[in-house]
Amino acid sequence: VLKLAKQAKRLNQFTDQHYKPSGQNFFGSFGEFIKTMRMSIEDGSISEEFLIWRQRKFKESKNSAFPGTWIFKTLPWRQLMYVADPSLVEMMAQIPPSSVAQGGFAGDLLELDTNGFKNGLVMLEHDDWKKQRKIISQIFHRKQLDQYIDTMDQAAITFTEKLSEQSSFSKTGSYEKSRLFVYEVLFKTIFGDSTAEVQTDKTYESIITTFQKLGEAINTKIRSLPLILLLKKIPLGIELAKKFWSPLREEQEHQVSRDEYLHKMVEKSRSELSQGFQNSDLTSILLQSQEKLGKSALSDAQIHSHLFTFLFAGHETTLAALSWSLFHLGENPEWAEKIKEEFFDLGGRMDRQTITQAKYTEAFIKEILRIRHVVDMMVPRKLIKDVSLPDGRVLPKGLQYIVDLGNIHRSEANFGPNPTRFDPSRFLEPKTMSDKSGKYGFMPFGGGTRMCVGNHFAMQLLKIAVMRVASTLKIDNRHNGEVKNQMEGVSWRPKSGSLAQKFSSL
């Protein structure tokens, strides 16, 4: 109690410099947060009302010592600084890894799945994270990515063929086809399953449903965060909830199915390696590293966590970005034409040169990642010691902070007077963006040492898909004037039922 009281006193001394909501009580902004989350939940998913609430807090904050921040206080000793100032984000990115640890509620939500994220890059810290990051990085260097171009392209060609079959308006068809396309690429590149024709083979429906349900379970836990926190404080609370509360019980069932599938795929790759096969998928690379470094450096549990992390995160974010790409190709036909012409001007073939030189395509995708904030916040971090920033300001031990990507990417200071207008040309003319925002004014894959290790993989896949679709299909959208951005799973995508699309061959 004395330790918590001392920490609370130090944090309050620091946060007294910041905006505090009127009427703030012992629990700070937590009551207001819960009220906002209830307002945000539409049809079982989280709406942009949550982002708008955070945006309002930034505007209300009048702190001069740390502009572009506000404090979210849940308890006197648990205070979270939201940050949307690129210059401060850049300084925080330079904080030594030994001075920070996981913060916020990520651990409360994700560590319950012991065979999921727990041993992967999302949850690991310090030396453990550094060692695993080095191993994982092998799959995402340029030479390795080049080996995936043909796999991605063939899947993209099948994807356009499937979309062309949707000749009448449908509210679900394009999403389902996009989902299968992304899974096909991931199954082939992560597990080395060359026969995984997911877009045409229905035998994969069961395991795909399993991964989809695990994403929905995380969303449910986010919405039920106060209950999860309470259950964790009660002895055997989580274990009892897994028996009697259907969301946790069903999640556990899907986790078992997932674990069985991952074990099967790992053992398949292990068998192929023992027979002399030199495969280039993530599973094979991890097993080769395990053989070289030993299980003490890379255990089977860590391999399973890495595979699940990249399949889950890769699917969720790429699917969301692709869904918005299809929307904007239909909504902005002039950009679809630019991308089509660019692809054919570059030779109409998919190779490293085309992918690298497709500037219109890249600008189009970057604008989607910016304005649609597929991921709107980075994983919170917590200071485990006092930290002095390069400009002399000091952040106290115990302070937690989170980079608000959604508000950084919609800031007038960073993107001019019309930050909510869809305009990919801003990435063709960088001077249209604020010079002071720098590289931390646009960071859809995060920044600093913990930037998403799969960012080049994702951009390559999106470029290939967008070029193939734009050069092959005409997209027609039908909606009531607004297609809302809604959080489903752990990423933001078009709200279910708000958009109908049809496709025709050019």
Residues annotated in a binding site for heme? 452
Q: What are the tokens at 350?
A: 């998919």
> Which distant-in-sequence residues (6+ apart) come within 8 Å of 473 by Cβ?
160, 163, 164, 503, 504, 505, 506
Q: Are the C-beta atoms of residues 304 and 256 closer than 8 Å to each other? A: no
Q: What are the tokens at 292?
A: 């070289």
CA angle 211, 277, 264 (to 5 degrees): 30
List Cβ<8 Å contacts ≥24 apart for 104-109. Answer: 104/80, 104/379, 104/380, 104/382, 104/400, 104/402, 105/225, 105/229, 105/380, 106/379, 106/380, 108/225, 108/228, 108/229, 108/232, 109/218, 109/221, 109/222, 109/225, 109/228
Q: For 114, phi and psi rounded to 5 degrees?
A: -65, -25
List binding-site positions. Answer: 452
501 bridge partner residues: 170, 477
> Which distant-in-sequence residues (6+ apart) come within 8 Å of 35 by Cβ?
none
Q: What are the tokens at 105?
A: 């509620």
Q: What does R_g of the chain's alpha carbons equal in angstroms?
A: 23
